[in-house]
Amino acid sequence: MVAPGFCRLSLEAPKIAAAARPGQFVQVYMFSGRRPMLPRPFSIFNANPGQGQISFFIEVKGPGTAMLAAAKKNETWSLLGPLGNGFPAMPEGSLLVAGGAGIAPLVFLAASTQKERLLIYGAPSATMLTCPSSDLDLPGLITLEATEDGSRGEKGTAPELLAVKIKEASAVFSCGPCGMLAAVKSLCVSHGVPGWVSVEERMACGIGACVGCVIKTGNGYRRVCKDGPVFPVEEVVFDEQG
Amino acid sequence: MNRADLNNHGDLNLQVDLAGIKLKTPVLLASGPAGYGHEYRELLDFRTLGAIIVKGISLEPWTGNLPPRLAETSCGLLNAVGLQNPGVEYFLKEDLPALRNSGTKVIVNVVGCSPDEYAAVTSRLDGKEGIDGLEINISCPNVKAGGMAFGTDPKATAKLVEKVRRETELPLVIKLTPNVTDISTVARAAETAGADGLSLINTLAGMLIDTENQKPLLGNTFGGLSGPAVMPVALKMVWQAAAAVRIPVLGMGGINSADDALQFIMAGARAVAIGTGLFYNPGLPVEINKGLAGYLHDKGYNSLAEVEGVARRQKGAD
Ligand SMILES: Cc1cc2nc3c(=O)[nH]c(=O)nc-3n(C[C@H](O)[C@H](O)[C@H](O)COP(=O)(O)OP(=O)(O)OC[C@H]3O[C@@H](n4cnc5c(N)ncnc54)[C@H](O)[C@@H]3O)c2cc1C
Ligand SMILES: Cc1cc2nc3c(=O)[nH]c(=O)nc-3n(C[C@H](O)[C@H](O)[C@H](O)COP(=O)(O)O)c2cc1C
Ligand code: FES
């Protein structure tokens, strides 16, 4: 546990660590005998090919994430990955916008380059800015925090801060709640800045077979697990309720 | 018995004949969860499968239902994919060639909005190299027109099966819905109209509400329940259908272990199909084959046929 309700889980998975690209995810299998559960998808938070390790940054929400948060050292879990498309290469002067647990894929992205880049990390309050600062301590990365109640960093939402900074951005990369992503979309579109977002939908197979995880896009329904989870922001159609 | 014995059932015969389709093993992939097979081929050796039943194919492409399409339940899955599919022409051109050399038999699940559409799809598939049989889906709860409407009415079932029968010589398996009061009458109607086999169950109609947003969880409001939660219901319906007809029955619904699979065989199924169980564990078909072979070996049987329907005979049900 890194904060109440959040944990950082490191696993030995040499093949995944070697192949992983920022924005990709892993299905964690939940075999539990007569009470099976579907595998749970998690973004790769960190991959270290040298040590053969990957890690996840997990917000405990229900039974599956609770099981993972309670995982003990030396336990074996079945993993499938890396899955999905991942983010495209990040140009100099990119802006990363994270909301809550949406920080996970962006930390991996930020760690993939030494280029100049700025991370905006927003949450309702300071207690929700749970990512360990050691994980954000990356060469050349500047982090700006935003909380809605002003308890840490700037007072306001991540998109409000993005609105101030977007003029200087070459590209935007974002992950977080639907409402936030919708706001990121309108800012990117109105400023003509290219943007990519990592989206979530409930999954079953995780590999593109069942067409269960689709979202609405400008090009029809697309599978989050196979065609995504990263989409060009202008493609994604956000419903008002998300 | 030592370990070596346990793993060596090479002489045991798991072959079955389902409606004229010779299957290497009695474990099939149910229509839908594995799509058209491309993705799962990387996780699963298809030579261990009796057949793959591909996802429902209609005449023209169908876009499917509004998301969210999936919701997990206690020991189950609610889905409302809505038979999204690329249409029969695309299937023949893009999917079938790869399936032909996947190492297993191919059964195509056919859907339509009208009897004419079912007939048209069937006639397009007839005679195509690499198709070993058809499963006529008259049981999907997730589409507004057609689908389940045919499978809940014995007269409509009979008419549809007769019509489709005229279009093809391929083995015809009719997929039945559990959303009926009496499965036997629909089963008999399909048999009389010319079916070579029956498969059941499709999903049970259901729904969930998201209390946070105070609206139905699925974009389509209603969906179909599958997975271990439905297994006892499915087993009972397979038992009843097997009693009602002489043609072979393909059993499915919540199978998640070799023991589950055996129960369906003992209830009278010739073979079994795995849907949701594949999501929990892509290695499940292999596990089931091993478990079935182990059971036959331990009990001194030579083939699966010897256990088909045994529980029925125990009860004097035949
Ligand atoms: C591509 C992808 C990457 C993800 N990366 C991360 C990550 O890095 N860290 C993290 O904490 N979480 C991540 N998630 C979300 C995570 O998969 C879900 O929170 C988890 O599956 C919930 O499981 P549970 O059994 O604990 O809770 P459940 O009881 O299954 O669900 C709890 C709540 O989470 C929602 N939920 C369940 N599954 C999903 C899903 N697949 N997508 C969105 N919401 C869901 C449910 O609607 C419910 O409100 C990701 C999801 C996707 C699709
Ligand atoms: C995601 C999903 C998609 C499905 N699509 C189809 C389909 O296209 N045609 C069909 O006849 N049945 C379809 N089914 C039903 C299954 O083939 C099967 O009858 C049902 O799920 C019960 O088996 P199970 O509990 O092993 O999944 C689908 C089921 C699921 C879960
Ligand atoms: S989860 Fe099956 S297609 Fe994405």
Structure-block tokens of residue B10? 């090479």
CATH number among 1.10.3720.10, 3.50.50.60, 3.40.50.280, 3.20.20.70, domain B3-315: 3.20.20.70
Segment A132-146, tens digit of pLDDT: 999 999 999 999 999
Give residue-wise pLDDT tens across range A199-231: 999 999 999 999 999 999 999 999 999 999 999
Beta-carbon separation of B280 and A29 below 8 A: yes
Closest CA to A83 of A236, A226, A242: A226
Residue of B54, B106, B140, B247 with catalytic role: B140
Q: What is the pLDDT of residue B145?
A: 57
| Spatial distance between the Cα atoms of A48 and A76, rounded to a whole number of angstroms | 19
User: pLDDT value at position A165?
Assistant: 95
Q: Hey, what are B253's tokens? A: 């619904």
Q: How much is the pLDDT for B9?
A: 53
HSE-CB of B34 using CA atoms within 13 angstroms: 35
What is the distance in A from the centroid of ligand 1 to the CA of B66?
20
Judge whether A122 and A48 are in contact, CB under 8 Å.
no
Per-domain residue ranges of chain B: 3-315
Q: C-alpha angle with apex A38: A32 to A44, nearest 5 degrees?
A: 105
Supply A82's token pair.
């890396």
Q: Flag if B63 and A221 touch (Cβ within 8 Å).
A: yes
- Among A38, A199, A211, A226, most B C-beta atoms within 10 A, so best to mutate, is A211
pLDDT at res. A23:
98
B140 is catalytic: yes
pLDDT tens digits in sequence order for chain B, 318 residues long: 333 343 445 556 899 999 999 999 999 999 999 999 999 999 999 999 999 999 999 999 999 999 999 999 999 999 999 999 999 999 999 999 999 999 999 999 999 999 999 999 999 999 999 999 999 999 876 665 556 678 889 999 999 999 999 999 999 999 999 999 999 999 999 999 999 999 999 999 999 999 999 999 999 999 999 999 999 999 999 999 999 999 999 999 999 999 999 999 999 999 999 999 999 999 999 999 999 999 999 999 999 999 999 999 877 777
ipTM of the complex: 0.94
Element (H, E) at B299: helix B284-299
Torsion of CA A111, A117, A118, A121, to 10 degrees: -30
What mean pLDDT, rounded, does chain A reach? Answer: 94
**AA letter at A79:** L
Q: What is the dihedral of CA A153, A157, A158, A161, to 10 degrees?
A: -70
d(CA B53, nearest CA chain A) in Å: 13
Q: How confident is the model at residue A239 (pLDDT cuts 50, 70, 90)?
A: confident
Residue B207, judged by CB atoms within 10 A of its CB (0-12, 13-18, 19+), counts as middle
What average pLDDT does the segment A163-184 reach?
Answer: 96
The pLDDT of residue B142: 64
| Spacing, Cα A211 to ligand 3 middle (Å) | 5
What number does the ligand 1 atom closest to the CA of A56 have? 8
- Chain pair A-B, CB pairs under 8 angstroms: 93
